[in-house]
Amino acid sequence: MWILELLNTIVKRRRFIIINTLIVTLVAATISFVLPREYMSRTTILPPEAQAGFSGLGDLSMAQVARAVTSFSLPMMASPSDLYASMLKSDVILKKVVDSLDLETIYEASSEWQAVTTLRDRLMVRVESDGIITVEAISRDSELAARIANLLGLELNELNLQLESKRGGQQVDFLSGRLLETEEELQDALTELREFQEQHKAISLEMQSAVLIENLARQKANLTAAEIELNMLRKSLRPDHPSLIRQQLMVQEIGNKLVEMECGGGTRADSVLSALDIPLDDIPELGLRFSVLKRNVRIQELIYEVLAQQLEMSRIQEKRDTPVISVLDFARPAGQPFRPRKVLITVTAFLISLMASILLVVAYERLRENRSLSDLIATQMKETLVEVKRKPLG
């Protein structure tokens, strides 16, 4: 029932609705033609891989770098693309774009930073699902919009190279100092090893131990043979026989040599050991100390090699000027304006004015009906009062 009443109201007030809608639509269409045209140019950027281009940011976290060069803060799990997107809207890059294109004059800004703010408001930077960065610049001049978008990619690459070069220089200074320290530690380890070898005649403990064991076995065999011959002589000769005495002295001398080989002599002058022989009892301890000293030398050598390689890589990185930001699609001047969207403005104004006119008409009719009803009730009440006064008793 209410639908029929609504349709009846619309038909009844159709002239007002049509005129009001047409007026608002024409005004909106006129405004859309009067508004200044704005053009949008788009460029797409491929961030460098984390291993290659992202090394310019060093071991710093993405959030730290973003806070260092921009006024934005990033979550700790931000991707490299998110970082570069934030850098694109940083004051560092935008200021260079403003200075390069003299945007302070073009935007009629009162200061350089106001021009930077205006430029940031006219930029749209977003990261696609595949990590590609899309940069959209808006300007009343299509050529200027394309130049802004392209210059942003170039300035981003320049900033990344500066960060990379700065980090490379810092690494060169650090690694150079650390390399000198490691070289001194390596020389100390080599000196300690050389002094140990000179003191204990430890040229090659494995070979010296093998020779010592072989000599010890030979002396043991000689001692056994001499003892057997001595026992045989004792059975056939007198105790004071020269041959028996000579054999006893030989057995005693071989035994002394064995003791010296196992425990070491009193002095090198009195020792029968070779200059390269080491007492058997000292071999385990000397072998352990020798292994520790050789290990220390090897550790310092490895550290030196690693630091030398990193130093050379840092020097290359410091002088590197190869672009690490790849621009996939350069911006071109747009053929059609981005704003104002005349059709959208006109259609939106038409629909809004139509709905507003209908609501206004319905509200007006409701108000009239309520007013008529109120007047009818008031009239009836007056008639009733007059009738009561005329016939008070009924």
Q: What is the pLDDT of residues 237-296, one digit of tens each?
A: 777 778 777 878 887 887 777 676 656 554 444 444 444 455 555 566 666 777 777 788
Residue 386 included in any domain:
no
Cα torsion 218, 222, 227, 228: sign: positive
281 shares its domain with 248 = yes
**How distant, in Å, are the alpha carbons of 188, 190, 201, 227 from that of 196?**
12, 10, 8, 39
Domain that holds residue 274: 189-308
Tell me, what's the pLDDT at 380? 64
Residue 140, CB-side half-sphere exposure with 13 Å CA sphere:
7
335 shares its domain with 346 = no
Residue 268 included in any domain:
yes
48 shares its domain with 98 = yes
Strand partners, 135: 43, 125
Between 32 and 220, whose confidence is greater?
A: 32
Tell me, what's the pLDDT at 54? 38
Between 92 and 284, whose confidence is greater?
A: 92
Between 59 and 175, whose confidence is greater?
A: 175
CA angle in degrees (0–180, nearest 5) for 360-34-350: 25
pTM of the prediction? Answer: 0.51
42 shares its domain with 170 = yes
Residue 179 included in any domain:
no
77 shares its domain with 124 = yes
Question: CB under 8 Å to 205, separation ≥6 — which residues?
Answer: 278, 283, 286, 287, 290
Compute the radius of gyration of the chain from its Cα atoms.
Answer: 51
27 shares its domain with 43 = no
How many Cβ atoms are within 10 Å of 327's Cβ, its own excluded? Answer: 20
119 shares its domain with 206 = no
Interval 202-237: pLDDT, tens: 656 566 566 666 666 677 777 777 777 777 777 777
Of 169, 173, 150, 151, which Cα lies nearest the Cα of 161?
169
Residue 373 included in any domain:
yes
Residue 231 included in any domain:
yes
Question: CB under 8 Å to 227, separation ≥6 — which residues?
Answer: 251
**How distant, in Å, are the alpha carbons of 132, 176, 314, 315, 337 from that of 305?**
39, 13, 14, 16, 61
Q: What's the number of domains the chain is made of? A: 3
29 shares its domain with 43 = no
347 shares its domain with 333 = no
pLDDT band at 117 (very low <50, low <70, confident <90, very high): very high
- Please state, in angstroms and rounded to a whole number, the distance separating the CA atoms of residues 170 and 384: 103
Residue 184 included in any domain:
no
Residue 392 included in any domain:
no
Let me know: does 271 contact 260? Beta carbons within 8 Å.
yes
9 shares its domain with 70 = no
113 shares its domain with 199 = no
Residue 182 included in any domain:
no
43 shares its domain with 163 = yes
**H helix intervals, the chain:** 2-12, 14-34, 62-69, 80-88, 91-101, 103-106, 112-121, 142-200, 205-236, 242-263, 283-319, 342-390
**Residue 104, SS3 per DSSP:** helix
Interval 291-341: pLDDT, tens: 777 788 888 888 888 888 888 887 776 666 555 678 888 999 988 887 788
